[in-house]
Structure 1
Amino acid sequence: MQRVFPILDWLGSYKRKDLPKDLLAGLTIGIVLIPQGMAYAMIAGLPPVYGLYAAVFPIIVYTLLGTSRQLGVGPVAMDSILLASGLGALSINGIENYIALAILLTFMVGALQFILGISRMGFLVNFLSRPVISGFTSAAAIIIIFSQLKHLLGTEVAARADFVNTFIQSIQSIPDTHVFTLVIGLAAIVAIILLRRFVPRIPGILIVVVLAIIGASAFDWIGYGVEVVGAIPEGLPTFNVPSFSLKYMQQLFPTAITLAVIGFTQAISIAQSLEEKNNRDAVDPNKELIALGSANIIGSFFQSYTVTASFSRTAINYKSGAQTLLSLLVGSILVILTLLFLTPIFYFLPNAILAAIIMVSVVGLIEINYPRELWKHQRDEFYLLLATFLATLIMGILQGIVLGVLFSLILMLYRTSKPHFAVLGKIRDSEYYKNVDRFSADVELRPDLLIVRFDGQLFFGNKNYFKKELSRFVRDKGKELKCVILNSEAINYIDSSATSMLIQLIDELHRQNISFYMSGAIGPTRDIIFNSGIIDKLPKEHLFLRIQEAVDYYDKKHTATELQERIAYQRKGKGN
């Protein structure tokens, strides 16, 4: 049962002394979750109450199935903007249809995550590199900020799927700014930032929300033209089967894939960072997929939109001393109490306050230091980050992440097509062989020997590069060259195309009266050498453990010992 319900792993050994910490953390995260949930629902283009619905059943389900004890799951800005972008590209009439498709999309996301989890496909997260995620999240944060500018300015800006037009229309609407609304929003931003900086233990967001509600109701801000949240339906979300439509499911599938992968990536990255800090959680990526998938599937039957882990609420949960997911459950109970008894209070909450909460919450997603470090040390990855950032801003959220993954795969293919290929020389008075470009003043080079190291697998994508570079090294050596030694410690695979190339290359060297040796071949590489035609051109006597043994053999200084031969010639399923 513990494998199915990870909650049983910690519930059976729960310590009474941890209860006050979990209760305090739960109350704190619930206080933040209520206004944040409503604010994020606005980003998604949904009525604010749907942000509260997303904080009920999905959180309860994750509490039962999640493997991280401190992850703050619920509605988040990133999922919200992705959902709005995906639905914004469709022709949808009426808010009811929009809500129905948002819930259908949530079911699809959950189903995809669940299927990936039971299929043990958690490794897919590795295909989203850090530069891609950084470029994407930074651009998405900027898009989110500008999407809320209309609420901060109190102006009318048509909802657009692309950032460029949203930016232009937002700038054009500045002359129509409702000054009182802007003052309220800016004051809220300043207050939240100052409280967070100087009094971090006090929930600044809650204080701002309470003061704004009191101000709006006591001084009739509505009469001055300030837009407010308005009536929020009371009661818990009711059970409803999502409106399944094959037509819309086909149209929503790309968005669902993106949300499923991005949501999981965000959750697992936060969970693993917590694991490093507390050295206690054993986060299982596949179980996390199942937990998130189940939360979204069940949530879709109770009017929830997509959920994943939140950076800000996880940090709050961790800093508040949460010991288990009981804190998350306490936060959800606070949301339930709000839905049952407190929704009338939020009637007077200005939209500008929610916009301020969103802006302050997502501005931290814009990374500055990481791109700066990449610029200093890894320019190719900086350009990958920049390309993803610009593609997301200019072309759109979905296109940006897809192109970012494509760019990273292209960069990976480029690197594997041209691995590091070095000429080695012997360090004086030692048996070490190092790159001559790095140790030029300390190496001894012989005109009759060429020793090289290839740092990558040999496959169809780089076989021509290998042959071209090795042929160039051979030509540079001149007519005195008698032997080539390939240090193959870093070669972990040789495919059939590279095998054919290597056979032809060895033949060409032999026609020039040049011997060919290999040293340091690991087990899988030796298996390929013995099971392919390479062994017919490269006798096993020309396989060595170390470069020095190959050099000594060439110099006829000694014959390999029985142990050296047994190790150098060993292959899978064979004794020699």
Structure 2
Amino acid sequence: GIFLSFYIGLINLTLGCLQLGVIADFFSRPVMGGFLSGGGVLIMISQLGSWFQLTLPSTSYPLETVVNLCRQIRDCNTNSVIVGGVSIVVLSVMKYAKQHWIPNPSLTQLFDEPLAVDVTAITNQNDMNAALVQTPTEGAQHPTWGFSLDDQEYASLEPVPPMIKSNSTVKHKSRQVLFFVLRTICDLGPLVICLFGIVVGRAVGEKQIKVTGHVPQGFPSPKFPWYGYTGDIIKSVDLSDVTVNALSIALIVYMTSIAMAKRLALRDGYEVSPTNEFIGLGMASAIGSFFQVMPPTGGMSRTAVNMQSARTQLASVITVTLVILVLMVGTDSLYFLPKASLAAIIIVAGFWLIETDEAKWLYRSKRDEFYVWLASFLATIGLGILAGLGASIVCSLVALMIKTKRPLVYALGRSGDLYVNAQENPDAITELDTIVMRVEGSLYFGNSEYAMQVILAQVVLQDKVRAIVIDATYIHDMDATTLQMMDTILLKLSPIKLAFANAQPHLAHVIKVSGLTDKLSVPEVTESIDHTIARLRALEVPGVAMPIPLRLETSNAMTTSTNTAPDERATLLYKPHDDPKIKWEQPWLAHLNWIPHYNLRRDLKLDLIAGVTVAMMIVPQEISLANIMHVPPQYGLYTAALTPVLYALFGSSRVLSVANGAEVSLMVGAALQNIKTDQERVAVGIFLSFYIGLINLTLGCLQLGVIADFFSRPVMG
């Protein structure tokens, strides 16, 4: 486990140094949503044995665990079932109450003076607008006041006018404090459950219910994360197996963290650097592995609480300080904590990972992407976390290919000075001897044949066609398969002439270097449609000069206008297909520029509240997550005692709370579950953490944060 943490950190650090944070952009929301929702179900299944106090055998497929539970259900421990069941109910009620019953006051209103608006002085509508809409100061938080929001809410956040906000919240400060305390208690549900469990464990006794037992005090001394291999502790796990696990876990660490970091940046109006995210996560994992931490990631519930009041990364420092204090003097109190209580905390956390609202929304609005979400969800549940991740990636690629399989291809006609879709505009005039076709989207091996078939079908409909002009305004690229297919198309069309118009400079270069321009009737592919048609007609009468066109064209998304010169049109339309050389978005430590401007009077009290609140959440969470990873509970606390500060130093999000997370812990547990001894499991986990950190650091240095763009959200969901 420790080596795995080191390995993961190494991967993330490498990716960060290589500036490969863009990887995350390639995973769509349905793909990621389906995967994470399936992971939530797997998290719940993984805790059934601890809840019912049964020893369930390790299986290759998660559903086998449910079958084994049904077979052994008569041997369950009644005390454990009751404690776990009560804990699940209490936690669920707390979460529901927070979302539906308890008003949510603005935390800043508990400390700041209320906005004074002199209504009598407002004499006109402009004065009213000026009073209602205030310009936030630099660094101010977004004036929304929820602990957590879904993606659609984050994407559509709008400032709440202070006057409306004051009318919609509780006006009496004492009641504001009351509601804030109640919501905080709900957020600290895991701590409440742990206290309840400890009381029950002491009363019942460890012989009647399985308890956590002794948790060593103190912070571990540093050691090399690969000590398991050099010390002959790791015997049953090959480095190749660790590498596969490290790569997959590093991907999920980055994907889940960058998704939350982007949401928070949108909320508070600052930029998140994908490269810095790789580096921050990589440093947290790689350096932390020397202190025996498990692979960390951004935590959803912790971050939701932290963002409520935290102004700077100092809140994470406060959290770490309190966790270290617990490690030094408070671990003895955890002895009688029942395993069932920890299982209940994880089961509820897993349940809230299932994105049912998103599935419903996709089913209503984007049925095709819903099926992608569903396929990823079912594959993850049926195959397990690692195989499910692979299946989810395949789903994402298949969905992308299906979407681009049939690009828009349609004939253009003239309507006044414009070229428009002839089918949508029956009054548009089409040429009898020349077909003008527009293709929207790049052409590659998966869709080029379809596009060419549509063009050939249009030729069949018009008997007297002598030439075809393809408007290439929206064709950003052609792959080798498409370019080679053009030779076949030219043979099929002969003697009909073929030409391109309005090609962007990048596409024109591709066509030229491929040798295709020598085979086209008009070699110039960047000219306007009118110019190209005139050249084609001039070829019909040798020796006749090309007529001077009455107008030149410039295209937009819907039409083709006629008032811009060709060079100007190229400048307006051209967007480089290949990004320029990626540069560092910011220096590694530029995100710490808050330190010299830190306002003790304004910021410290809010950071202190956030740090203390998250610390009270993180202790029971980390102990529970250690149970998922099949390692002793102190290793969860070691992670919480170091990684938040490491991420705060190198990551770009102000409030992302980094420690062990449910999804990553499940993947680490899957990598460690077949190892026989605790000592070997811990050694592999620490090395894995180091390995993951190295991967992320490498991707960060390569500036490959765009990788995340290739994973669709429905598949991950």
TM-score normalised to structure 1 length: 0.73
Aligned counterpart, 1:499: 483
Change (3 A) 1:275 1:180: same
Q: Aligned to 1:252, which of 242, 247, 252?
A: 242
Of 202, 206, 222, the match for 1:239: 222
In the alignment, which residue of structure 1 is the partner of 2:206? 222
How big is the shift at 1:183?
A: 2.0
Q: Name the CA shift for 1:392/1:521 in 2 (closer, same or farther; >3 Å).
A: same
Paired residue for 1:200, among 179, 183, 202? 183
* 1:394 CA displacement: 1.5
Change (3 A) 1:566 1:256: closer
Distance 1:480 1:175, change over 3 A: same
| Residues 110-119 or 415-424, more deviating | 415-424
2:196 pairs with 1:211: yes
| Separation in structure 1 between the aligned mates of residue 78 and residue 490 of structure 2, nearest angstrom | 79
Residue of 511, 519, 527 corresponding to 1:537: 519
Aligned to 2:352: 364
1:468 to 2:450 alignment: no
Name structure 1 gaps, 5 residues minimum. 1-101
State the AA in 2 paired with 1:194: V
From 287, 297, 300, give the equivalent of 2:276.
Answer: 287
Moved more, 128-137 or 458-467: 458-467
CA distance in 2, matches of 1:377, 1:547: 37
Report Cα offsets for 1:147-197 as digits up to 9, x if no partner: 112222233323434202111112233333333322222222222233332
| 1:434 paired residue number | 421
Partners of 2:350 and 2:278 lie apart in 1 by: 24
Q: Which residue number corresponds to residue 76 of structure 2?
A: 177
Letter in 1 for 2:483: T
For these two proteins, the number of residue pairs brought into alignment is: 461
- Report which stretch shifted further, 517-526 or 142-151: 517-526
Relative to structure 2, which stretch is displaced further, 532-541 or 375-384? Answer: 532-541
Q: Distance in 2 between matches of 1:557 and 1:108?
A: 68
Q: How does 1:347-362 map to 2 (within 5 A)?
A: 347-362=335-350
Go from structure 1 to structure 2 and tell me whether the alpha carbon gap of 1:553 and 1:400 turns closer, same or farther (over 3 Å shift): same
Number of the residue aligned with 2:293 = 304
3-state DSSP class of the match of 2:410?
A: strand
Using the TM superposition, give the Cα deviation of residue 523 of structure 1 relative to its aligned residue in structure 2, in angstroms.
1.3
Q: Is the 8 A contact 2:504 2:526 kept in 1?
A: no
- Tell me the amino acid that sits aligned with residue 275 of structure 1: A
- Assess, with a 3 A threshold, how the Cα gap between structure 1 residues 169 and 445 changes in structure 2: closer, same or farther: same
Alignment-derived partner of residue 528 in structure 1: 510
Task: Return the offset for 1:382.
Answer: 2.3
AA matched with 1:397: I
How far 1:565 moved relative to its partner?
Answer: 5.4
Residue identity opposite 1:472 in structure 2: A
Matched, 1:155 2:54: yes
Contact 1:519 1:545 in 2 (8 A): yes
Tell me if the contact between 1:489 and 1:519 (Cα under 8 Å) persists in the aligned partners: yes
Quickly say closer, same or farther: Cα 1:432–1:292, change in 2 above 3 A.
same
Structure 1 counterpart of 2:256, one-letter code? Q
Residue 408 of structure 1 aligns to a residue in which SS?
helix
Change (3 A) 1:369 1:426: farther
Higher normalized contact order (CA 8 Å, seq sep 6+, divided by chain length): 2
State the shift of 1:322 in Å: 0.5
Alignment partners' CA distance in 2, 1:153 and 1:504: 67
CA distance in 1, matches of 2:272, 2:381: 33
User: By percentage of residues, which structure has more helix?
Assistant: 1
Deviation at 1:221, TM superposition (A): 4.2
1:311-365 C-alpha deviation (Å, 9 max, x unpaired): 111111012x001111112111111111110111111111111111111222111
CA shift, 1:273, in A, is 0.7
**Map of 1:188 onto structure 2:** 87
Match of 1:274 in 2: 264
Out of 108, 111, 114, the position equivalent to 2:7 is 108
Aligned ranges for residues 131-170 of structure 1 at < 5 Å? 131-170=30-69
Cα distance, 1:444 vs. partner?
A: 4.3
Give the letter for the 1:361 counterpart. Answer: A
Change (3 A) 1:311 1:498: same
Contact 1:543 1:569 in 2 (8 A): no
Q: How far apart are 1:269 and its partner, in Å?
A: 0.8
Unaligned 5+ runs, structure 2: 103-181, 538-545, 553-563, 576-717
Corresponding residue SS for 1:505: helix
Shift of 1:400: 0.8
> What are the Cα deviations for residues 363-387 of structure 1, in whole angstroms up to 9, with x where unaligned?
1110112222333333332222222
In the TM superposition, 1:33-182 aligns within 5 A as 102-182=1-81
Query: Aligned partner of 2:310: which letter?
Result: A
Give the 3 Å change call, closer, same or farther, for CA 348–264 of structure 1 in structure 2. Answer: same
Do the aligned partners of 2:42 and 2:384 also contact (CA within 8 Å) in 1?
no
Q: Match for 1:488 among 460, 469, 472?
A: 472
Alignment-derived partner of residue 51 in structure 1: none
| SS of corresponding position for 1:124 | strand
1:516 is aligned to 498
Per mean C-alpha deviation after superposition, the further-off stretch among 181-190 and 134-143 is 181-190
Q: CA RMSD in A?
A: 2.9
Tell me whether 1:337 sits opposite 2:325 in the alignment: yes
One-letter identity of the residue aligned with 2:454? E
Task: Tell me if structure 2 keeps the 8 A contact 1:155–1:176.
Answer: yes
Residues of 1 paired with 2:78 and 2:88: CA distance?
15
- Of 444, 458, 466, 2:443 maps to 458
Partner of 1:36: none
The structure-2 alpha-carbon separation of the partners of 1:339 and 1:433, relative to structure 1 and needing over 3 Å to count, comes to same
Q: Distance in 1 between matches of 2:521 and 2:532?
A: 13
Alpha-carbon distance, 1:560 to partner: 6.4
Say if 1:127 and 1:405, in contact at 8 Å, map to a contact too: no
Separation in 2 of the partners of 1:565 and 1:121? 37
| Structure 2 residue aligned with 1:80 | none
Inter-CA distance 442–230: structure 2 relative to 1 (3 Å threshold) = farther
Contact preservation (8 Å) 1:161, 1:396: yes
Normalised by the length of structure 2, the TM-score is: 0.59
